[in-house]
Every structure is written in structure tokens, then in C-alpha cells.
Structure 1
Amino acid sequence: MKMNAYLTFNGNCAEAFHYYAEHLDGKINAIMKFGDAPEGGGCGPEMADKTIHACMTIDGQDLMGSDAVSQYCPYEPLKGISLSLHPASLADAERVFAALSAGGSVGMPLEKTFWAARFGTCTDQFGVPWMINLEKE
């Protein structure tokens, strides 16, 4: 059985996925628009340019998402969940943390802890909470 995260965005899913692809060394597998679906996915012309489904692969793992459809499931910021990344090196941890916190907010600065060589939390500019955890050697 496989499990992966599916994120919902407030109209900026495609922008987020392009940002993640660039800064997390991901590969976008698909970004489909509502306007490409039969009958616009049943969501009306105002959703035509919004993302009905996106999928990318980051280091062999899939991340998926879409834009929220207000008439069925209005957008709500993520609460009580974070995506956790485990970089392989200190340089990667610092690079990824800087990219994800840029334009967002830092919950805990990337720093040494009793359990990790570096750990930090942030919420990115798209409203997605992240944990960066560089394990001790």
C-alpha cells in the first residue's frame, strides 16, 4: 500500500507545484486544468484556469494537489498537519528551509536539537506547513 499527501490550494496550486519542482528538485508529472475536463469538471468558467489535479515526484515520492472548489469544498488553510522533509546534508537542509520559508513564516528556526543535526519548521508562501529534519549521523 502506498500513501502520499494531497494538498488543496487557494487558486495557486500550479504556481506552488512549479516552485516546489524548482526548489525541492521535483519533477512535475501532470498539471491539469478544470477547463481541460469535460464540461469544465462541472465547476463553471471561473475555474477554467485553476488546477483540477497536479502530481509531482520528489525523490521517488509523489505529492499531489488541486485548487479548492468553493461551491463544493471551500478553501481552508491547513491545520494540524505538516509535510516533513529529511534532507541528506546540511547544505540541502539550509537550502530547502530558506526556499520554503521565503515569503512565508518561520515557526522554529533551523537549528541543532537533541534529536537532529538540524530541525526547523515553516509555513511557505502558499500556506503549506513544513518540517525540515536533518538526522544526526
Structure 2
Amino acid sequence: MAAINPYLNFEGKTEEAFNFYKSVFGGEFQVIQRFKDMPDGDKMSAEDGNKIMHVSLPIGDGNVLMGTDTLESMGQKLNMGNNFSISVDTDSEAESDQIFNALVAGGEVVMPLEKTFWGAYFGMLTDRFGIQWLVNFDYGKEK
């Protein structure tokens, strides 16, 4: 079954925030990726390229705090209320499809479910109540 974790958005402060959370909760970053590391990342400004595309910090038993920087150059704007999402990690593509399609009913697809360059099946949506969701299946974790 799916696991649910918080996903936080910051305006250029993700690295600072997550170093703070790491000092509070301990542990090590599971993943830290910068925008310059994505395909065509070398085409963005050095400032944007150095910002955090994705970071994850395991906390406790099975919980993961994740985050990203928003980039105005990519059409993203941070407002209170859109500074977090709920991330659902699934056990299969089929479970991703089922959960994504159920959540988006009456809502809006932000990014359709698709295979990504980081090795996942991933999509984003806003449900009919205005809550932002990320649905993710990491290949290699089939059960």
C-alpha cells in the first residue's frame, strides 16, 4: 500500500531549511539533487541551476521529509497554501494510476503520470478541494 509523506516548497531556501531540519531530527539526506543535474539543466542560469530540485530526509521509522525550491523561470510561484504537497509513494504503476485517477476526479492535472528521467513513474495534481498531491512509483521497488 501507499506511503504518505510531506513535500515542502521553498523560494530559494530549501537547502538552508533542510540543513536546519537535519540538525533537529538527525540522519543523512537520502537524496539531494540540483536543477543543474536534470536534462538541459545546463541551459538555466547558474543561480537557478544550483537550487534544490529534490531533497529527502528520512525521519523516524519510515517517514521522509522532502522538499524543493520553486523557480519563477519555470513558471512556478510560491504562495502560502501552495508551499506543501502530500507525496504518495506507491507499490506499482497500476496503484499509481488508480490513486492518481481517483484523486484528480473533479480536480486538475498539473503533470500527468509519466516515466521520468530519475527512474520513477510520477505525476502531480490538485484535487477538487485544492490540495496538491504528488504520486510516485520508484522503479525497482516492485513488490
TM-score by length of 1: 0.51
The Cα shift of 1:67 comes to 0.1
2:58 is matched by which residue type in structure 1?
T
Q: Look up the match of 2:122.
A: none
The Cα shift of 1:27 comes to 2.7
Report how many aligned residue pairs link the two structures. Answer: 81
Gaps of 5+ in 1: 82-137
Q: Look up the match of 1:76.
A: 79
Trace 1:6-45 onto structure 2 (pairs within 5 A).
6-40=7-41, 43-45=44-46
Identity of aligned residues (%): 28
| Of 51, 62, 65, the match for 1:63 | 65
Bigger radius of gyration among the two: 1
* Separation (CA, whole Å) in 1 of partners of 2:23 and 2:69: 20
Query: Quick one: structure 1 residues 24 and 33, their matched pair in 2 at CA, closer, same or farther if it must change by over 3 Å?
Result: same
* Separation (CA, whole Å) in 1 of partners of 2:64 and 2:57: 6
Q: Which stretch of structure 1 is more off in the superposition, 25-34 or 57-66?
A: 25-34
* Separation (CA, whole Å) in 2 of partners of 1:72 and 1:42: 16
Q: Look up the match of 1:132.
A: none
Query: Quick one: structure 1 residues 38 and 77, their matched pair in 2 at CA, closer, same or farther if it must change by over 3 Å?
Result: same
1:14/1:31 contact within 8 Å kept: no
Structural RMSD (CA)? 2.4
Moved >4 Å (runs of 4+): 41-44, 78-81
TM-score by length of 2: 0.49
- Higher RCO, 1 vs 2 (CA within 8 Å, ≥6 residues apart): 2
